[in-house]
């Protein structure tokens, strides 16, 4: 369907919905690389003016990637809950933005609405929202998930402890893991990006964390971030798999480039649930996403990278995951050029995921060839904290020596807890106090050798 | 004089620092990073940034390599400057018209016999890696290929790995090896990557190359990298191709290049082509 508007002397014409969405998107390098971005600032505003007047219901009739061609589109449209959509069914995208900011949209009504929204509706409205709008609305959303602890409760912030090591050395990994735990991190998951995909190595890492977790009765979950097929094989072999990890994207093509499909994810989700290892709940999936992956896989269908990213969340919610992590600054400057673009993308992803009912976290990160630095990360960290993010990443000193990029540190999480009064997952908080890592307020205690984890740290060094 | 009060809270698990290069046991000022660590981190980031943005001194490198007996030719990609290079990886994979002309006009004069191996020395994402390691690495490679300096040596700027395909093709080379600065890590601003491609021509993909990564004294030493590359060059000649079918049976692992030079998470390994 053709959309058009006149601004001054210029008539701006957009051939279809995906063109309106792409040109309404805030500027970013990936959309320019794909050739879908607005050619001028006026054209961007023209697209926004057009977008604001498009009825939300239109999104159910015009798919940005055809239903016949794409599994993700089919999942999005087939799972759309018409009843849940009713409260906003008569609104345009622009009116929807106002409704989201209004008092009619509270935590309960937003949760009830989530299954009635499609990713494209959510992406569309985000393009009409300023950063403060994205923060305000996301902060009203609450998404709580459970495995061995409870994540996403109001006033809480969790941390994925990411003790990566370039050669998967068990002592090196343990050193980073203990460092993180002694800083009170690890309630979201203890998750390792392995250097190798070999099954024996994956299994060894799973046992390394699981043995530790069992011995110290840590109320958290572990994950080795390997391909879903490896995790399925590990499950077959009886390895202690808590969560199934997979990178996913917002089109069938990008998922196929990742070597996954909905059928494969269905199988993995069922296999992990069947293990019944969660003590408080059975959210077993951990997904990672990031704007730009579809373009990188040449599977973007002319859709802008932020809309495609929201579609990945449409796939993710089929599985009621424990964690969804947008790895926002990892992909590089050809997709998100600088701190401004990374910050905007992080806020968009968090907002879109939350509105769709997902437990969103963010790897607040950058690479050394992006125009970004620690100040940009501090800004995004603070903004996402205010927006009520479920979890962030914790890496020793923010320097991931395996993946060669900068994420957030254990200290960063403590900063956020202090300035925003955010506590850890309740079960984990209790454990930290029992282990004398924190006091009753959640503040770190000075350690001494009599405390169990420091005792363990001292014993590792003595191993030859 | 009063004594300074203890400001920092040290982490009494500093012995863990012996087990990993990760920044563990940093201690804290309140809940924040101590000043010393903030400065240490900032310095590492500054060096990595400079490695990305410092232009390769082509004349200096050419003079040095000529002193080592090579004939050299300088080319440029279609990315006019670093900002364009970072935004448009596709431009970095194609020669600018002037360079194409130079290769066509001068290539045959400089290297009249059909080359077995074209050597492309490229800035990539770290000119520091290229300027620091090229000479020493090529000297090490000469131990395996005595007539190395008779082969074409092209210095390419604002270049991605695939630029070597067009250069190798223009020179009619059997194989091309691209020496290129890899995306700098915080503690490794000068990592050199080596990409070997048989039958270079435009339009190849990264699965058709072999990659040796992290060449630098603190990573994979020159002699070791040269031995592995010589092994792959031999293997590719016998097999007639490079890529996933060419396995490195030398003792250290060589990866069939996935899409990246630096080890990306297997989970996200299709997201970016860094060089």
pTM for the predicted model, two decimal places: 0.91
B19 domain-assigned: no
Q: Which residue of A lies nearest to B253 if distances are taken between CA atoms?
A: A196
Spatial separation of the C-alpha atoms in residues B146 and B51, rounded to whole Å: 32
Asked if residue B262 is part of any domain, the answer here is no
Of B22, B31, B263, Cβ closest to residue A176: B22
Interchain CB distance below 8 Å, B9 and A292: no
| Euclidean distance between CA atoms B212 and B192, whole angstroms | 9
Q: Structural domain tally of chain B?
A: 1
For residue B2, tell me if it sits in a domain.
Answer: no
Alpha helices in chain B (DSSP H): 35-53, 58-67, 82-87, 97-110, 127-142, 163-171, 222-239
Cβ distance A454 to B188 less than 8 Å, yes or no, reads no
pLDDT, chain B, mean: 89
User: Coil, strand or helix: which one is B210?
Assistant: strand
Q: How confident is the model at residue B270 (pLDDT cuts 50, 70, 90)?
A: very low
CA dihedral A329, A333, A334, A335 (to 10 degrees): 30
**How far is Cα A413 from Cα A424, in angstroms, rounded to an integer?**
10
Query: Is residue B272 predicted with pLDDT exceeding 70?
Result: no
Give the pLDDT of chain A (464 residues) as one tens digit per residue. 889 999 988 999 999 999 999 999 999 999 999 999 999 999 999 999 999 999 999 999 999 999 999 999 999 999 999 999 999 999 999 999 999 999 999 999 999 999 999 999 999 999 999 999 999 999 999 999 999 999 999 999 999 999 999 889 999 999 999 999 999 999 999 999 998 888 999 999 999 999 999 999 999 999 999 999 999 999 999 999 999 999 999 999 999 999 999 999 999 999 999 999 999 999 999 999 999 999 988 999 999 999 999 999 999 999 999 999 999 999 999 999 999 999 999 999 999 999 999 999 999 999 999 999 999 999 999 999 999 999 999 999 999 998 889 999 999 999 999 999 999 999 999 999 999 999 999 999 998 888 889 888 888 865 54
CA distance B172 to chain A (A): 30
DSSP A228: H
Q: Please compute the mean of the pLDDT values over residues B117-143 and round it to a whole number.
A: 97
- Nearest residue to B31 via CA among A409, A456, A426: A409
pLDDT at B255 over 60: no
Structure confidence at residue B106 as a pLDDT band (50, 70, 90): very high
Instruction: Quote ipTM for the complex.
Output: 0.95
Phi and psi for A78 in degrees, rounded to 5?
Answer: -70, -25
> How far are the Cα atoms of A177, A211, A358, A412, B20 from residue A286, in angstroms, in the given order?
19, 21, 11, 22, 27
What span, in angstroms and rounded, lies between the C-alpha atoms of B152 and B154? 6
Which residues in chain B are contacts of A342 at CB distance < 8 A? none
- Residue B139 sits in a domain whose CATH number is 3.40.50.11240
Q: Kindly determine whether residue A331 and residue B271, on different chains, have CB atoms separated by under 8 Å.
A: yes
Q: How far apart are CA A321 and CA A280, in angstroms?
A: 14
**Is A378 in CB contact (< 8 Å) with chain B?**
no
Is residue B100 assigned to a domain?
yes
B42 occurs within a structural domain: no
Domain span at residue B164?
53-245
Share of chain B above pLDDT 90, in %: 79
> CA–CA separation, A403 vs A87, rounded Å?
45
Lowest mean pLDDT among A54-58, B168-172, B180-184, B216-220: B216-220
Q: Which chain A residues are Cβ-neighbours of B16 within 8 angstroms?
A: 175, 178-179, 457, 460-461
d(CA A257, CA A308): 15
| pLDDT class of B3 with cuts at 50, 70, 90 | confident
Is residue B58 assigned to a domain? Answer: yes
B230 falls within a domain: yes
Distances (CA, A) of B102 to A364, B60, B75, B109, B201: 45, 20, 8, 11, 18
How far is residue B126's CA from residue B162's CA, in Å, rounded to a whole number?
16
Q: Is B8 inside a domain boundary?
A: no
Q: What pLDDT band is residue B4 in, cutting at 50, 70 and 90?
A: confident
CB-nearest to A333 from B9, B86, B189 is: B86
Q: What is the DSSP letter of B250?
A: S
């Amino acid at each position: 369907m053709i959309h058009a508007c006149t601004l001054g002397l210029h008539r701006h014409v957009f051939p279809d919905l995906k063109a309106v969405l792409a040109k309404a998107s805030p500027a970013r390098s990936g959309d320019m690389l794909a050739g879908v971005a607005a050619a001028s600032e006026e054209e961007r505003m023209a697209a926004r003016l057009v977008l604001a007047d498009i009825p939300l219901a239109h999104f159910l009739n015009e798919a940005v990637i055809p239903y016949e061609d794409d599994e993700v589109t089919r999942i999005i449209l087939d799972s759309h809950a018409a009843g849940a959509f009713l409260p906003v069914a008569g609104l345009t995208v622009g009116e929807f933005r106002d409704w989201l900011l209004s008092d009619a949209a509270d935590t309960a009504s937003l949760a009830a609405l989530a299954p009635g929204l499609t990713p494209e509706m959510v992406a569309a409205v985000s393009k009409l929202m300023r950063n403060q709008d994205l923060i305000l609305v996301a902060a009203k959303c609450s998404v709580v998930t459970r495995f061995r602890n409870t994540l996403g409760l109001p006033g809480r912030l969790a941390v994925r402890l990411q003790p990566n090591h370039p050669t998967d050395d068990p002592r090196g990994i343990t050193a980073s893991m203990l460092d993180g735990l002694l800083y009170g991190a690890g309630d979201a998951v203890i998750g390792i990006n392995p250097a190798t995909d070999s099954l024996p190595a994956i299994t060894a890492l799973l046992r390394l964390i699981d043995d530790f977790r069992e011995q110290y009765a840590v109320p958290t979950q572990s994950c080795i971030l390997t391909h879903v097929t490896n995790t399925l094989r590990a499950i077959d072999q009886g390895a202690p798999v808590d969560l199934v990890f997979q990178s996913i994207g917002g089109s069938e093509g990008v998922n196929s480039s990742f070597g996954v499909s909905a059928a494969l994810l269905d199988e993995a989700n069922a296999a992990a649930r069947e293990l019944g290892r969660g003590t408080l709940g059975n959210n077993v999936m951990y997904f990672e996403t990031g704007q730009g992956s579809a373009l990188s896989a040449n599977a973007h269908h002319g859709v802008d990278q932020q809309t495609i990213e929201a579609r990945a969340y449409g796939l993710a919610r089929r599985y009621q995951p424990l964690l969804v992590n947008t790895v926002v600054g990892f992909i590089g400057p050809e997709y998100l050029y600088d701190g401004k673009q990374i910050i905007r993308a992080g806020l968009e992803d968090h907002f879109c995921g939350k509105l769709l009912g997902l437990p969103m976290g963010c790897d607040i990160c950058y690479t050394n060839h992006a125009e970004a630095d620690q100040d940009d990360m501090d800004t995004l960290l603070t903004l996402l904290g205010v927006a009520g993010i479920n979890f962030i990443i914790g890496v020793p000193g923010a320097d991931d020596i395996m993946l060669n990029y900068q994420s957030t540190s254990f200290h960063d999480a403590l900063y956020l807890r202090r300035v925003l009064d955010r506590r850890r997952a309740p079960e984990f908080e209790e454990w930290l106090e029992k282990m004398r890592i924190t006091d009753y307020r959640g503040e770190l205690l000075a350690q001494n050798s009599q405390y169990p984890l420091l005792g363990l740290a001292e014993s590792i060094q003595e191993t030859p | 004089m009063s004594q300074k009060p203890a400001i920092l809270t040290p982490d009494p698990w500093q012995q863990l620092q012996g087990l990993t290069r990760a920044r563990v046991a940093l201690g804290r000022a309140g809940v924040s990073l101590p000043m010393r660590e903030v400065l240490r981190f900032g310095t590492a980031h500054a060096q990595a940034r400079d490695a990305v943005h410092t232009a390769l001194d082509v004349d200096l490198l050419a003079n040095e390599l000529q002193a080592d007996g090579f004939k050299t030719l300088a080319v440029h990609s279609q990315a006019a400057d670093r900002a364009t290079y970072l935004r448009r990886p596709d431009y970095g994979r194609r020669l600018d018209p002037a360079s194409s002309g130079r290769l066509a006009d001068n290539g045959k004069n400089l290297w009249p016999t059909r080359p077995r191996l074209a050597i492309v020395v490229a800035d990539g994402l770290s000119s520091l890696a290229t300027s620091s390691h090229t000479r020493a690495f090529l000297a090490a490679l000469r131990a395996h290929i005595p007539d190395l300096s008779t082969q074409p040596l092209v210095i390419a700027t604002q270049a991605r790995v695939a630029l070597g395909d067009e250069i190798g093709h223009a020179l009619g080379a059997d194989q091309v090896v691209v020496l290129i600065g890899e995306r700098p890590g915080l503690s490794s601003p000068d990592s050199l990557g080596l990409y070997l491609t048989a039958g270079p021509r435009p339009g190849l993909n990264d699965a058709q190359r072999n990659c040796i990564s992290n060449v630098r004294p603190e990573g994979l030493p020159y002699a070791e990298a040269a031995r592995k590359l010589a092994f792959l060059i031999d293997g590719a000649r016998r097999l007639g191709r490079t890529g996933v079918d060419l396995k490195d049976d030398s003792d250290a692992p060589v990866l069939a290049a996935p899409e990246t030079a630096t080890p990306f998470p297997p989970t996200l390994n299709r997201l970016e082509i860094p060089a």
